[in-house]
């Protein structure tokens, strides 16, 4: 074996490794966009449990855009809109619900920013298929127009010095038109193709108010109000480019 052959045998594996390494660093895309629809569920003084009530859930729709930081993490901007509702009259127990008869509605327009962790590290991976679970957290703001209704309240049933005085205080309290939210949640993507995925997600909004429903002191001032959502949607990779001659890279 001459000197030239020996050099070729040494250089070829090095070049192959370098080629593979370079390909491994190339992302098929950096941006994604999605659309979803589902339901908003209110939890608070006018719901029967801490999980809210499905009898008063309202439709929700949303859009998002994401930038992939690396294989595991991305940042996502969310826009959601829909409405929330609570209604004592929907519950026959406990008995006071039918006598108190508080009700509220509000439209919701929500803007949030999220940090998303793709647990299986499938961000921008070529030939990605199958399931990809993820979790997220962030911050944002909800714009509201709360309409509370106490017109069916039976004052004779309740103690005027407690519930009655509390209602007077609530009426005097202005309802918020915007509230900060801390969204936390989880989801699951299923990749139909490297460019397209279907998505299921639940998103819980942590809030620091007891006036999302317009009532506090006349109900349960120790219990904060919140809301969450369930949604289904599709996600599309933007500017997707195959790496053609690059060898497949495991996520």
Q: Encode pLDDT of 187-239 as tens digits.
A: 999 999 989 999 999 999 999 999 999 999 999 998 899 999 999 999 999 98
Distance CA 203, CA 229 (A): 5
CB atoms within 10 A of CB 203: 27
Distance CA 82, CA 76 (A): 20
Q: Pick the closest to residue 160 from 168, 149, 171, 152 (CA basis).
A: 168
pTM of the full structure: 0.84
The domain ranges of the chain are 29-238
Q: Supply 194's token pair.
A: 């490297």
Distance CA 21, CA 246 (A): 10
Q: Encode pLDDT of 128-147 as tens digits.
A: 789 999 999 999 999 999 99
Q: Supply 32's token pair.
A: 């994604």
Q: Encode pLDDT of 30-60 as tens digits.
A: 999 999 999 999 999 999 888 898 999 999 9
Specify the CATH architecture of the domain 29-238. Beta Barrel (2.40)
Helix (H, G, I), strand (E, B) or coil at 7: helix
Q: Encode pLDDT of 89-106 as tens digits.
A: 999 989 999 999 999 999
Q: Encode pLDDT of 147-162 as tens digits.
A: 999 999 999 999 888 8
Helix (H, G, I), strand (E, B) or coil at 185: strand
- Is residue 91 within 8 Å of residue 49, measured between CB atoms? no
3-state helix, strand, coil in the chain (%, to 5): 20, 45, 35
Distance CA 219, CA 207 (A): 18
């Amino acid at each position: 074996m001459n000197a030239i052959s020996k050099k070729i045998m040494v250089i070829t594996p090095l070049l192959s490794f370098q080629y593979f390494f370079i390909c491994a660093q190339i992302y098929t895309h950096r941006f994604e966009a999605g659309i979803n629809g589902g339901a908003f569920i209110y939890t608070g003084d006018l719901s029967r449990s801490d999980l809210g009530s499905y009898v008063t859930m309202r439709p929700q729709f949303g859009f998002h855009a994401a930038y992939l930081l690396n294989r595991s993490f991305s940042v996502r901007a969310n826009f959601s809109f829909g409405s929330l509702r609570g209604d004592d009259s929907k519950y026959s127990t406990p008995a006071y619900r039918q006598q108190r008869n508080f009700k509220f509605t509000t439209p919701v327009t929500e803007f949030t920013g999220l940090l998303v962790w793709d647990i299986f590290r499938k961000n921008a991976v070529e030939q990605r298929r199958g399931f990809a679970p993820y979790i997220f957290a962030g911050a944002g703001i909800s714009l509201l127009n709360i309409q509370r209704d106490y017109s069916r309240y039976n004052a004779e049933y309740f103690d005027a010095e407690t519930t009655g005085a509390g209602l007077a205080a609530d009426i005097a309290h202005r309802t918020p038109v915007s509230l900060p939210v801390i969204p936390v949640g989880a989801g699951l993507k299923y990749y139909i193709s490297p460019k397209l995925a279907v998505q299921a997600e639940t998103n819980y909004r942590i809030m620091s108010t007891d006036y999302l429903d317009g009532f506090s002191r006349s109900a349960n001032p120790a219990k904060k109000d919140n809301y969450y959502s369930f949604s289904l949607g599709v996600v599309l990779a933007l500017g997707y480019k195959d790496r053609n001659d690059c060898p497949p890279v495991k996520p």
